Amino acid sequence: MPPPGPPPAWPGRPPPGVGSPLQHPVVPVPAGSVPGVTDTPQDALLELAAHSRSGFPHLVAARDRTERDLDDLRRRLSDVPRDGTTAVVMMGSWGRRERTSGSDDDFLVLVDGERRPDAEPQLERLESLLGLGEAKPGTQGIFGQQVFVGPMVRHIGLQDDTNANLTQRMLLLLESVPVVGRESYRRSLEQVVDGYLAGQAKDYRPPRFLLNDLIRYWRTICVDFAGKARAEEQKWGMRNAKLRLNRKLLFAGGLVPVLLCHLQRQDDQRAFLLDALQAPPTDRLAHAFLRYDAVDEGVRALGAYDRWIGLLDDAETRAHLRGLTREAAAEDPRFRDVRRLAKEFEQGLLALLFETRLSPLAREFVVF
């Protein structure tokens, strides 16, 4: 899709007679009350791109590439034997619709129900179809696994909620897309959402159980990053850049819909969350920037993220960042640019959370 041309008038410019928006009333903003903003975040990135002179070309290209690759993958997996309870689910850049030339195949075979040895497809059936060459999924025991939804949902918190279980559950919620087995995938997602909401949800309140787990997950990623950095110097530059950008996008893209449950009655929160989580995190964030009248900030934040996706699509840049130790990164001009993009991205997210009408919610629910 070609990037849209310059907007006829900048939407952030207040109409005549409007006073200082620095004083923002703390009232909920139902989506219907904002012209042009719908209840669903699907494709909101493209709406925000229409307000940008750049048009987010790298994100748009990555989204197009992901859709093409998903179609291709669906064709390749269509003949793989599968029972009615399973789905092959892509995670990571696939789920974020951000595939670039260097993306790998982070996948799970998601099995609806309890652990059993005969769930199809078995992993070996996928060996020749997924994760070939450089696209090999991560080696931390998270991806390239059969994952059973029963224990995943039953063990939220406490000793049995291992790092892998927490990570797989969160990534399923926040950045996943089914290749085959769409119905099983949907049932699994519903079970995970129900696992958080059942007996916990309240009218017009963000669901605390889910919110706390989401925050725990983000902080766990940060702590694990530091742990890995102590254990090995390798790949510090790339890991740090992804923490500052991709992982932060993931966290914020989950935080926003969870906070927005405050607009919903208890009975409606499930459908609201399931709808929001079907959209890529860039859509969820773009939707929030539009809804909360932070178009200028959203254009800058996602513009910075767009440039990062452009850098990730460059093999030489990827190799450079992978080879960068923490010590070398401090003086490295290219890493300095990445760090600057990450700051711009973070500043936009902070403005969304703390300088708009989302601020009272962030203050009330995110810290404690």
Q: Which amino acid is at 157?
A: G
Q: Closest CB to other proteins among 21 and 157? A: 21
* Under 8 Å between Cβ of 245 and 201: no
Q: Closest CB to other proteins among 132 and 330? A: 330
Residue 146 contacts other proteins per CB under 8 A: no
* Under 8 Å between Cβ of 278 and 339: no
Q: How far is the CB of 23 from other proteins (least distance, A)?
A: 6
Residue from 2, 5, 20, 158 binding other proteins (CB under 8 A): 20
- Burial of residue 302, with CB atoms counted within 10 A of its CB: 0-12 exposed, 13-18 middle, 19 or more buried: buried
| Pairwise CA distance, residues 47 & 302, whole Å | 12
Residue from 115, 116, 182, 343 binding other proteins (CB under 8 A): 343
Q: Closest CB to other proteins among 150 and 360? A: 360
Structure-token pair, residue 279: 């959209």
Residues 293-312 that bind other proteins (CB under 8 A): 294, 296-297, 299-301, 303
Q: How many CB atoms lie within 10 A of CB 332?
A: 17
Residue 157 contacts other proteins per CB under 8 A: no
Ordered DSSP codes for 133-173: GGGPPPSSSSSSEEEEHHHHHHTSSSTTS-HHHHHHHHHHH
* Under 8 Å between Cβ of 234 and 328: no
Q: Closest CB to other proteins among 27 and 231? A: 27
Residue 10 contacts other proteins per CB under 8 A: yes
Residue 111 contacts other proteins per CB under 8 A: no
Q: Closest CB to other proteins among 152 and 362? A: 362
CB within 8 A of 74, min separation 6: which ones?
179, 180
Residue 100 contacts other proteins per CB under 8 A: no
Residue 355 contacts other proteins per CB under 8 A: yes
| Pairwise CA distance, residues 21 & 357, whole Å | 11
Stretch of residues binding other proteins (CB under 8 A), selected from 32-40, 116-124, 160-168, 352-360 = 352-360
| Pairwise CA distance, residues 175 & 277, whole Å | 8
Residue 253 contacts other proteins per CB under 8 A: no
* Three-class DSSP category at 178: strand
CA dist 158 → 161, 196, 214 (Å) = 6, 14, 15
Handedness of CA 245, 249, 252, 254 (dihedral sign): negative
Q: Which amino acid is at 99?
A: R
Residue 367 contacts other proteins per CB under 8 A: no
Residue 22 contacts other proteins per CB under 8 A: yes
Residues 256-295 that bind other proteins (CB under 8 A): 262, 294
Q: How far is the CB of 7 from other proteins (least distance, A)?
A: 9
Residue 347 contacts other proteins per CB under 8 A: yes
Q: How far is the CB of 10 from other proteins (least distance, A)?
A: 4
Total site size for other proteins, rule CB under 8 A: 48
Q: Which residues bind other proteins (CB under 8 A)?
A: 9-10, 12-14, 18-28, 52-54, 204, 262, 294, 296-297, 299-301, 303, 330-333, 336-337, 340, 343-344, 347-348, 350-351, 354-356, 359-361, 364
